[in-house]
A and B are shown apart, each in its own frame.
Chain A
């Protein structure tokens, strides 16, 4: 994989601009690349720094103007007041429960369907794909309003199950389509080779297809969890007391001081930082060919 990449570079400059000295143009390119990367990184990173700074400043520091851009007056006062507010810690727990159950549910139901789409030509395949496209092409989350009514009559209203069911429905079409695409990219020959060597369909799937499909499935799981963790409208409509963290923050947004909102912002952002850090290693390992 690395050999062709190494061969790839030299012919390009030679072919486009033979007289120009190769080394300096390459260096200029590297500098420009770094500048572009730094600019994008600043746009992405500075807001994260600022919300952290705001949430870790004392109330007194937040009342000053202009605000200090450097961490000169750090304090945990703002964060601890936020954590002591009613509903914040239970909201965090609820968010975690809902997110993990959604991930498991969506994979259990979605992966088999994705595999079926990628490997079988069957009657009903096209209508099914159309159905998926349809559900995906619609913001099902706005159906939370009637769903609340349905859950009220079935005694599911205001439970984590209600939110989990909604989130699974939201994640399912994406899971099916992503995993289908992933399975398509796993060569069928490998599966056939396994069959020739005496594996049955299930064995071939678990020992040959699944390992190759794992990075894609992990990516799909990542989207699912993140979607659930971040979803706020459905969670806010389907619950009153069993609120997830975003629903809790949203519900109390209007009546809360700025310090509470900044602390809430950081509390919602922090798990994202950790989560992506963990997933990045995995993704980079698996997708390793270009991002090392």
Chain B
């Protein structure tokens, strides 16, 4: 009896430890997923594609899809370059680095809705940017007008860059701290320049942090919508914003569910692509 009990207690410890999270995630993930698929593809009389058709016929759908992809493709590289620069600058321990660190991580705790409102005060017609331009004698410009889609996009892009870079920055800072200094020091002793050390010593060791940050940020970027909502309303539609619009304003949960599934599918494809790409690279390095 005691032997049996000991064996039983020893074997399943990890299973016991992960079980709660497994149950929790399944309940809040698999269940709504099933309900969502049902919502999206069943009508009053059985299975139907009419909700999907309605989504595709909506004039806002394709612009929303295009905007979402465009925002991700432009934003993520900018964001990583920026965050890496910030982390490397701080790594040189400039004076006042504590204060800088604080100001740079503040946006970490700012919601995308708040970020939209912050930049609204700058970009709106009678806002701070136009006030400054007016003082300088430049004609004010309607940055957020639906007639100027380019500047609307730029405004959303800047607001997102401002808000979401801190997350990448913190992940990279933490990653840098996990890197033993020996290699870097050795490389410096042997006369490697800063760029050589960055390219061949620091970045390879940062790879795990960068990978995590990359996947995390891309998935989060798919969910961006309140920034655009605050800055331009439906003039700059994004996919998740359309979900919200169909659910709340048009009160059509079925079409909202279809769009939600589209976002899910797109994110899944992107993540799988990332993982394959990153895994291939790692094996390449290993061999």
Contact = CB atoms under 8 A, between A and B. Distances in A.
A133 B8 CA distance: 29
B87 to A, nearest CB: 10
B198 interface: no
B21 A40 contact: no
Nearest to B40: A146
Interface residues of B, number: 107
A221 interface: no
Interface string A7-48: 110011001100000000000011001101100110111011
A233 B15 contact: no
A254 B248 CA distance: 13
B32 A143 contact: yes
B121 A54 contact: yes
Contacts of B173: 287, 290-291
B122 A47 contact: yes
Given A40-B104, A273-B106, A232 B112 contact: yes
Q: Which of B121, B244, B271 counts the most chain A CB atoms within 10 A?
A: B121
Contact of A33 (B94, B107, B122, B131): B94
4 closest A-B pairs by CB: A265-B117, A137-B271, A230-B111, A272-B109
A44 B162 CA distance: 7
Interface in B159-202: 162, 170, 173-174, 176-178, 181, 184-185, 188-191, 193
B110 A138 contact: no
B229 A253 contact: yes
Given A138-B264, A258-B124, A269 B110 contact: yes
Range class of the A interface residue count = 35 or more
Nearest to B262: A142
Interface of A: 4-5, 7-8, 11-12, 15-16, 29-30, 33-34, 36-37, 40-41, 43-45, 47-48, 50-51, 54, 63, 65-69, 108-110, 112-113, 115-117, 119-120, 122, 124-125, 128, 131, 133-150, 165-166, 168-169, 172-174, 176-177, 185, 201, 219, 226, 229-233, 236-237, 246, 249-251, 253-254, 258, 261-262, 264-265, 268-269, 271-273, 275-277, 280, 284, 287, 289-292
22 contacts: A8-B188, A33-B89, A33-B94, A43-B162, A47-B162, A51-B118, A67-B128, A69-B131, A117-B18, A134-B268, A136-B215, A137-B219, A142-B223, A143-B32, A143-B264, A150-B32, A233-B223, A237-B247, A262-B120, A272-B114, A290-B173, A290-B177
Q: Which of A119, A135, A143 counts the most chain B CB atoms within 10 A?
A: A143
Contact of B24 (A51, A109, A236): A109
B140 to A, nearest CB: 8
A137 B268 contact: yes
A143 to B, nearest CB: 4
B25 A226 contact: no
B108 to A, nearest CB: 6
A128 B18 contact: yes
B223 A65 contact: no
Given A37-B100, A40-B104, A146-B257, A166 B28 contact: yes
Given A138-B219, A264-B117, A4 B226 contact: no
B22 interface: yes
Contacts of A268: 110-111, 113-114, 117
A67 to B, nearest CB: 4
B95 interface: yes
A226 B272 CA distance: 27
B90 interface: yes
Contacts of A54: 121, 128
Nearest to B215: A137
Contacts of B225: 233
Nearest to B124: A258
B275 A233 contact: no
